[in-house]
Chain A
Amino acid sequence: MWINMGPQHPMTHGLWNLRVKIDGETVIDVDPEMGFLHRGIEKISEDRHYNEVITLMDRCCYVAGLAWEHLYILSAEDALHVKPPQRAEYLRVLCDEFQRIGSHIMWYAAFVQDIGLMSPFLYGMRDRDLILDLFQSYTGARLTYEYLRVGGVRSDLPPGFTARAREVLDWLDARFGEYDQLCLGSDIFRKRCDNLGILKASDCVAHGVTGPMLRSAGMKRDLRKDRPYSVYRQLDFDVAVAEGADVTARYLVRMEEMRQSVRILRQVLDWLDQNPGPVLAENLPRWLGAPYAPIGREGYLLKRNYPKGVGFSSVEEPHGEAQAYVVNEGGEHPYRVKFRSPVFANISAARQYLVGYHVADIPPIMGSVDVCVGEVDR
């Protein structure tokens, strides 16, 4: 019997369809269907100024908007030969890591809801709100930030931000233990999640599965270490790895990543306290985008003389390895923008880690994948 789990289904956490073939309560085949949320972001980007594309990046992933902004910005700067000031780099890492914690807490909340734990869902949302408050205080928005810019970031931190951020970090550090108590401390949780949805490291590599799923299979791969971008080389942190390749291992990896993010953030906040400076590169071409659209001769002259280039970047996004490719053919818009979504690959391998388990196991397994449909369909 084929069942459509989606496009509107509590399990999907977004707009996609998992077709499941069941025999009794056992899954014998699955067929993920994606594309319900396709908005043509890559195509729209070709008609936008470089800075206007950033708005679209927030819509790519609604829980990790800043990480996707960073991804695009790195690639665009590569293509446009722009170098941001050091303080901007640290501010971007600040965004990235706060966003990683926010995304993982959001994942935690949705995941525990999938296995029927009700209270931690609200604990997670409560704690994530603190991070959103911080975002609001320096980007002005809680969901669609549009904070990063080609050549830096939009604005510096407000006064007193680092102290507030440290308070939030202390609070979060204390909460992670509670999360663990509610999940790992529960026998029912262990019974449901141990040895569930196993995807071995070799299968991960074969299907392009990255991020916490790959690290939960015991493979120590993290782009922040393996191909350091921004200022990650200067920061001290460990890569979270777990053995087991099952749902519990993915849980452990994400929890450890949050702790490591807190560690990174403490270093970043210290650096930001001691090193004031500009946050946006000087002498940027005005035609880079809104709100300074080129009017008149000067802008076009600058644009025409601007060197062409090709930009590539890969970023350890909360869900996995995201990649961006930006081609600058000399126009005021990017000639082509292409993204690689980690979740797309992670979902595509669904047959590998779902077949053979029970129908009731689908929500925890898919929950442990951490699906974000916005970036799958773009």
Chain B
Amino acid sequence: MSTVTLFSVSYDLSTVIARGVASVFPQPIHGWILSSDVVLGFAILFFAIILLAASMINTIMLIWWERKLLGRFMDRRGAMHVGYAGLLQNFADGFKLFRKFTVRPREADSAGFYFGPTAYMATSLIIFGVLPISTGWNGGTLPLTLLLALVIFSFAPLFIFVSAWSSNNKYSLMGGMRSAAQMIAYEVPILLAVVAVVIVAGSFDLTTIVYEQQNYWFWGPLVVALIVFVAGMLAEMERIPFDLPEAEAELVEGWNTEYGGMLFAFFMLADYLRGLVGSFLVVLLFLGGWTLPTWVPSSLTSFPLAGIVIFMVKTYLVFGLFVWVRASLPRVRTDQLLRVGWNRMIPLSLLAIFLAAVLVTVKCLPLFGCVPSPGV
């Protein structure tokens, strides 16, 4: 049961297809196709395709979820017409963007103009390769998954700035600068908040962090770190109240003003991919990942793919929180945002680290109604 992983599934798939294809060819080619290297290569390819499809479909469903939630918050219904309850609306929108002609301003720098959105999209997708969604979901076990995910996550300001600068538009440039300043400012508190989690869990490996939460989820003892992390993630995802790089009212559309068609769709999708990654990380670090509290009877959680279902439900609820924030808060100003980032968030995250250290050393974790895990 536990040996079935996403990778083993794609390896089996690759083997079956290799056998089928090899049977057509005579001996030397037949043997080469069935050799372990070729089968492994195709297994990795299938693995990547499955991950890509899963993340894209989830991203698009995330947009649907946001549109429906926002609609309800705003006393309307959201998308209703394409598909049941508008489920296919975003596919229709994406197809429309796909068919559109991509306009590049004459004075824009061609290389940067195309490189920016592509790299932004690509780096956002890569993160899904390292995030464990359930047991056996990710390709291999790295000791530093969390660090790797955050490093890839923090590439974004570079690509945003490149595409903003090469658009050769004043609004784009201002949006790009704001975006870079904001993301760098909020990178620091996020990393510090993560350090608090790492101190308590004792590992940079996300799977280990989730297993450390089997007795108690970290959001209780590490509530300060959770607040810092969620606020920082809002800024990293550039969502209201921190969406000033694309503040519509003054900067038209910020750094993606000049983008249309598929390149705009790249930005849009990458934004939501990052939203999905942010929600994933909140669930993994603070909400117990794919596990449920121990008082839930295991008969309720023994259906197939239970881990993934639990994980996705949590993710969508966390993203619902982000949508709720978006529906009810106005946008802050650049200087206020940076002041909050450097003057409030960093001291708060340092406090979170301090609290985590105290919790670990004093071993007062049972105060929260749980038994300290043997790993600490």
Contacts and interface: CB of A to CB of B under 8 A. Distances in A.
Interface of A: 1, 3, 5, 9-11, 25, 112-119, 121-123, 126, 182, 186, 188-189, 191-192, 358-363, 367
A118 B75 contact: no
17 contacts: A3-B170, A25-B335, A115-B331, A116-B241, A116-B248, A116-B331, A118-B326, A123-B74, A188-B329, A191-B333, A192-B331, A192-B332, A358-B335, A359-B251, A360-B244, A360-B247, A362-B250
A359 B250 contact: yes
A3 B75 CA distance: 37
Contacts of B361: none
B328 interface: yes
A11 B332 contact: no
B249 A114 contact: yes
B215 interface: no
Contacts of A1: 170
Given A116-B241, A118-B326, A119-B73, 4 more contacts: A11-B250, A115-B330, A122-B74, A192-B330
Contact of B74 (A25, A119, A361, A363): A119
A188 B332 contact: yes
B329 A117 contact: yes
Interface in B70-122: 70, 73-76
B225 interface: no
A112 B330 contact: yes
Contact of B249 (A116, A123, A182, A358): A116
B249 A363 contact: yes
A115 B171 CA distance: 17
B199 interface: no
B328 A116 contact: no
Contacts of A361: 333
A5 B170 CA distance: 11
A359 B254 CA distance: 13
B75 A360 contact: no
A118 B333 contact: no
Interface in B58-80: 70, 73-76
A27 to B, nearest CB: 11
Interface of B, secondary structure class, is helix
A115 B328 contact: no
Nearest to B327: A119
Contacts of A191: 332-333, 336
B173 to A, nearest CB: 9
Nearest to B240: A116
A10 B246 CA distance: 12
B208 interface: no
Contacts of A114: 249
B230 to A, nearest CB: 16
Contacts of B250: 5, 10-11, 359-360, 362-363
Contacts of B171: 3
Contacts of A189: 330
Nearest to B243: A116
A122 B240 contact: no
Contacts of A113: 249
A363 B331 CA distance: 12
B5 interface: no
A192 B333 contact: yes
Contact of B334 (A11, A119, A358): A358
B174 interface: yes
Contacts of A121: 74
A115 B331 CA distance: 6
A196 to B, nearest CB: 10
A188 B330 contact: yes
Contacts of A367: 249
A127 to B, nearest CB: 10
Interface in B325-359: 326-336
A337 B332 CA distance: 46
Nearest to A191: B336
Contacts of A182: 328
Contacts of A115: 249, 330-331
Given A9-B252, A115-B249, A360 B333 contact: yes
Contacts of A122: 74-76
A174 B177 CA distance: 43
Contact of B75 (A126, A186, A192): A126
Nearest to B337: A360
A113 B330 CA distance: 8
A200 B125 CA distance: 53
Nearest to A193: B330
Interface in B144-170: 170
Contacts of A123: 74-75
Nearest to B173: A1
Contacts of B249: 10-11, 113-116, 363, 367
Contacts of B248: 10, 116
A113 B252 CA distance: 13
Contacts of A10: 248-250, 252
Contacts of B329: 116-117, 186, 188
A276 B326 CA distance: 51
A188 B76 contact: no
Contacts of A11: 249-250
A291 to B, nearest CB: 40
B330 A116 contact: yes
B241 to A, nearest CB: 6
Nearest to A361: B333
Given A11-B249, A116-B240, A358 B333 contact: yes
Nearest to B329: A188
Point out which of A10, A186, A189 has the most chain B C-beta atoms below 10 A from its C-beta. Answer: A10
B240 A118 contact: yes
A16 B328 CA distance: 30
A-B complex: 5 closest residue pairs judged by Cβ atoms: A116-B331, A363-B249, A122-B74, A114-B249, A115-B330
A123 B73 CA distance: 10
A121 B251 CA distance: 19
A188 B241 CA distance: 9
Interface in B244-269: 244, 247-252
B227 to A, nearest CB: 15
Nearest to A1: B170
A367 B333 CA distance: 16
A197 to B, nearest CB: 13
